[in-house]
A and B are shown apart, each in its own frame.
Chain A
Amino acid sequence: MRDQRLRGAGWPWAVRVLGALLLSGAMGTTALAAQDVEERFPGVSLGITYDGRQAATLAIQPFTGRLGGENIAERVQNIIGRDLRYSNRFQVLDELPASLSADEVDYGLWDQMRADYLVTGRVEGAGTTSTLVLELHDVVYREVVDRGRFPLPNPESQDFRMAAHVAADAVVMWATGEPGIAATRIIYSQRMDDGNQDLWIVDSDGENRRRLTNHESISMSPDWSPDGRRVVYLSYRTGLPRIYELNLETGAEKMVPAPRSGDYLTPAYTPDGESVVFSIVGSGRSGLFSYNLARDCCFANISEGAYEDMSPTFSPDGSRMAFSSNRLGVGAPQIYVRPTNGGSAELLSPYAFGRPGYYTSPEWSPLGNRVAYHGRVERRGVHQILISELDQRNRIVRVTSEGVNEDPSWAPDGRHLVFVGERSWGRGLFIVDAVTGNVRTLVSGVRANVPSWSPSLAPRMAEDR
């Protein structure tokens, strides 16, 4: 584990100070406040200040193969190379030095290319027994930062790409000390021409897209369990929207009992993964309720009123929750935060110039310091993705500008968000890096709704093996 570093000994400090100055300017506060920021982001102080130009330069030497691994070396390298670009933490070199020899590391050569880091990989064996030997080199200090051996399943198996993603995330961790997002998946719902909607799942790089449910009904609003093995969602299959839990490994489904009439909406796991919290809407009284899935019991009320509390989301330690509510009675929702165990709810979304606005679909960052949501800007129906930075005096950052964008969900690195976007050319899922502002398309040309980003699936992969 080491800090995100930049080329040249003096550089990190220069950027750090520059970043602090920029920050204090943006906040209109003193350098003292900027120091606070440093302390709250231990080892990640550049996190919200560096951009693409300041990111470390990373080179990838063509992977080699032995004992039959020659055929899959290039495939693995392509997957990992794209993952490292998608991490938005490096400037990945596209060119190779002219006089490159396949099997040895020539630091001088890469130094001339002005690379800070170099990734090398070797695949040993083929079929079901191959292994990827991966190394991250510090070009400037001419040493190996870290190395690891990653078992690769049969290249034809569904988990082959995921195994390469796990290796890519290891490189991110070695270089930055922070989690990657490659070994993750995203679940969303897709509306078909007949009006039905089912859950779909896709890898973080847009590959392996497939359908999860087939109920000839509406299934939507998925939320991943913290262990990455289950998903809660709502389905209209009985005629009324009710909450279900789907076990992704066994395919088994469980319905949350519905002792109270109304529409059961916006389910979310508690951070311990034991309970699901959701909204019941109807009969003039609505509220947030919880049900313990692990013990199959204990239907409990969290909030209730003549207004709609929806889209609950929890801080990572579970002590606080955010949700949307139209309790101001202005016919539009806003975002609130309150202690989970009770207490008053405080408005988090902007209330500027006497206008409470229209803000909804909050999701608390897995790092705990941010809440993402979407809000209406300019005119009806035009929504953009916003972030309230809880450790920056709730400063609000807007991270999208093109088209209409809704329903953000955090990646496990706490800086990437997946969201539904509508463009002039169509609708799809997009991913934005809240640090650099880079946006990429995940799934295009489908009517996607309400995505949920999984936790890192790397531990699950290791366990299954």
Chain B
Amino acid sequence: MHYRRLFFVFAVLGAVTLGACRRESPEPPAPPQEQPDPGPDMDSLQRVQDSIAAAEEAARRQAELERAQADARATLEQMVFFEYDESAITPQAEQVLRQKVSILEASPNVRVRLEGHTDERGSVEYNQALGNRRAESVRAFFVQFGLSSDRFETTSYGEERPLVNRSDEAAWAQNRRVEFVITAGADQINPPSM
């Protein structure tokens, strides 16, 4: 391994030296259009390489930040689901909501509308109230973690906007949900501080 790397280093050095020698060798008179090749300037080459590396590093950091922000946004917008006729937060939903809490703590300018939904089995109008109660449950969860209540607005679509347009247990489970719509500060979402 070492030998191979050494060999590589020498090979590169050799090539550079060769190039330098050729530049120094006397030249026969040549037609004027053939300008001598100035060859690489080691200092400026280094500077270019450094700046490229710096730019790459900055871009990498920026990409990382953007990815983290996108991840944070995706986490903020991730839906949570509910049991039949229930507005209580399930353990699975709690895990998701806790992640949202850390993001919301790091992103004080973000405001969210909580939109409650139900499956199709209850009555149409009562389901509007049930959806609202689910949204209010989520708000109460956030407030309990110290987030300000007025960062959240709640509403309900009842059973009128199903996620999955089928009538079976799997579809119903997907439709009993709260959706998170960012209404302000979408460009100021910060990943949770460590």
Q: Compute how far the CA of A390 lies from the CA of B136 in the bound complex, rounded to whole angstroms.
A: 37
Complex CA distance for A324 and B85, rounded to whole angstroms: 16
Contact of A381 among B121, B128, B160 (CB under 8 A): B121
> How far in angstroms is the closest Cβ of chain B from A196?
9
Interface residues of A in 410-442 (CB under 8 A from B): 420
Among B84, B126, B153, which residue has the most Cβ atoms of chain A within 10 A?
B126
Known contacts: A218-B157, A284-B136, A310-B129. The answer to whether A406 contacts B124 by CB under 8 A is yes
Q: Is A241 a contact of B129 with CB atoms below 8 Å?
A: no
Assembly CA distance A263 to B115 (angstroms) = 11
- Whether B136 lies near A449 (C-beta < 8 A) is no
A381 touches B125 (CB 8 A): no
- What is the bound-complex CA distance between A29 and B132, given in angstroms? 46
Across-interface contacts of A361 in B (CB, < 8 A): 123-126
Residues of chain A contacted by B124 (CB below 8 angstroms): 220, 361, 406-407, 420, 449-450
* Residue with the greatest number of chain A CB neighbours at <10 A, chosen from B85, B140, B154: B154
Chain A window 208-243, contacts with chain B (Cβ cutoff 8 Å), 1 for yes, 0 for no = 000000000010110000000000000010011100
Q: Are B132 and A263 in contact (CB under 8 A)?
A: yes
Please classify the interface of chain B as helix (H, G, I), strand (E, B), loop, or mixed, using the class held by over half of its residues: mixed
Restricting to A323-371, which residues have a CB under 8 Å from any CB of B? 324, 326, 331-333, 358, 360-361
The complex places the Cα of A406 from the Cα of B120 at a distance, in Å, of: 12
Question: Could you say which of A218, A236, A263, A450 has the most chain B C-beta atoms within 10 Å of its C-beta?
Answer: A263
Does B155 count as interface, using CB distance less than 8 angstroms?
yes
- Given known pairs A281-B129, A380-B84, the reply for A406 and B123 (CB within 8 Å) is yes
What residues on A are CB-neighbors of B85 within 8 Å? 331-332, 380
**Across the interface, do A383 and B123 meet the contact criterion of CB distance under 8 Å?**
yes
Complex interface residues of chain B between 130 and 185 (CB less than 8 A to chain A) = 132-133, 135-136, 140, 153-157, 160-161
Complex Cα distance A404/B140, Å?
Answer: 35
Contact among A286, A380, A450 for B125, CB-based, below 8 A: A450
Q: Is B122's beta carbon under 8 Å from chain A? A: yes
Assess the A381–B155 pair: CB atoms within 8 A: no
- On whether the beta carbons of A281 and B160 are closer than 8 Å, the reply is no
Q: Is the pair A324, B126 in contact by a Cβ cutoff of 8 Å?
A: yes
B86, CB-defined interface residue at 8 Å: yes
**A333 contacts B160, C-beta separation under 8 Å:** no
* Prevailing SS type, chain A contact patch: strand
Residue with the greatest number of chain B CB neighbours at <10 A, chosen from A284, A374, A420: A284
Contact call A310/B136, Cβ cutoff below 8 A: no
A283: interface (CB < 8 Å): yes
Q: Does A12 contact B (CB under 8 A)?
A: no
A93–B84 CA distance with the chains assembled, in angstroms: 51
Residues 239-269 of A contacting B (Cβ, < 8 Å):
239-241, 261-263, 265-266
Complex: chain B residue closest to A383, CB-CB: B123
Closest B residue by C-beta to A240: B155
Q: 1/0 per residue A16-57: CB within 8 Å of B?
A: 000000000000000000000000000000000000000000
Contact A284 B121 (CB under 8 A): no
- Interface status of A97 (Cβ within 8 A of chain B): no
Chain A residues, Cβ within 8 Å of B128:
241, 263, 265, 281
How far is B156's CA from A266's CA once the two chains are assembled, in angstroms?
13
Please judge, given known A-B contacts A241-B155, A282-B132, whether A220 and B126 are in contact too, CB under 8 Å. no
Q: Number of residue pairs across A and B with beta carbons under 8 Å?
A: 85
Residues of B within 8 A of A130 (CB): none
B123, A191: Cβ atoms under 8 Å?
no
Q: Is the CB of A360 within 8 A of B155?
A: no
Chain A residues 84 to 141 lying within 8 A of chain B, measured CB to CB, are none
| Least CB distance, B85 to chain A, in whole angstroms | 5
How many of chain A's residues have a CB under 8 angstroms from any CB in B? 41
Chain A residues within an 8 Å CB radius of B136: 282-284
Q: How far is the CB of A322 from chain B (nearest CB, A)?
A: 14
Within the complex, the shortest CB–CB distance from B114 to chain A, in Å, comes to 10
Contact of A360 with B156 in the complex, beta carbons under 8 Å: no
State the CA gap A77–B85 with chains docked (Å).
Answer: 51
Contact of B160 among A197, A239, A266 (CB under 8 A): A197
* Residue numbers in B under 8 Å from A176 (CB-CB): none
Cβ of A374 and Cβ of B123 under 8 Å apart?
A: yes
Please indicate which of the listed interface residues B125, B132, B154 has the most CB atoms of chain A within 10 Å of its own CB: B125
CB distance from A213 to the nearest CB of B (A): 15
Q: How would residues 279 to 308 of chain A score, 1 for a CB under 8 Å from any chain B CB and 0 otherwise?
A: 101111010000000000000000000001
Q: Which of B123, B129, B155 neighbours the largest number of chain A CB atoms within 10 Å of its CB?
A: B123
Residues of B with C-beta under 8 A to A281: 128-129, 132-133, 156
Q: Complex: how many Å from CA A279 to CA B158? A: 14
- Which chain A positions have C-beta within 8 A of B161? 195, 218
Q: How far is the CB of B130 from chain A (nearest CB, A)?
A: 9
Within 8 A of B (CB), among A366-396: 374, 380-381, 383
* CB <8 Å contact, A261 and B153: yes
Q: Let me know if B129 and A286 touch, CB within 8 A.
A: yes
A221 touching B125 by the CB < 8 A rule?
Answer: yes
Residue pair B156, A381 in contact (C-beta under 8 Å): no
Which residues of the other chain, B, contact A218 by a CB distance below 8 angstroms? Answer: 157, 160-161
**With contacts A191-B160, A263-B132 known, is A310 near B125, CB below 8 A?**
yes
Q: How far is the CA of A195 from the CA of B159 in the complex (A)?
A: 11
Show the binding face of B for A, using Cβ within 8 Å: 84-86, 120-126, 128-129, 132-133, 135-136, 140, 153-157, 160-161
Q: What are 6 A-B pairs with beta-carbon distances under 8 A?
A: A220-B124, A241-B156, A263-B129, A281-B128, A282-B132, A324-B126
18 new A-B contacts, CB < 8 A, other than A283-B136, A360-B123, are: A240-B153, A241-B128, A261-B153, A262-B132, A263-B154, A265-B128, A265-B129, A266-B125, A282-B132, A282-B135, A310-B125, A331-B85, A331-B86, A361-B123, A407-B123, A420-B124, A449-B124, A450-B124
Residues of A within 8 A of B (CB): 191, 195, 197, 218, 220-221, 236, 239-241, 261-263, 265-266, 279, 281-284, 286, 308, 310-311, 324, 326, 331-333, 358, 360-361, 374, 380-381, 383, 406-407, 420, 449-450
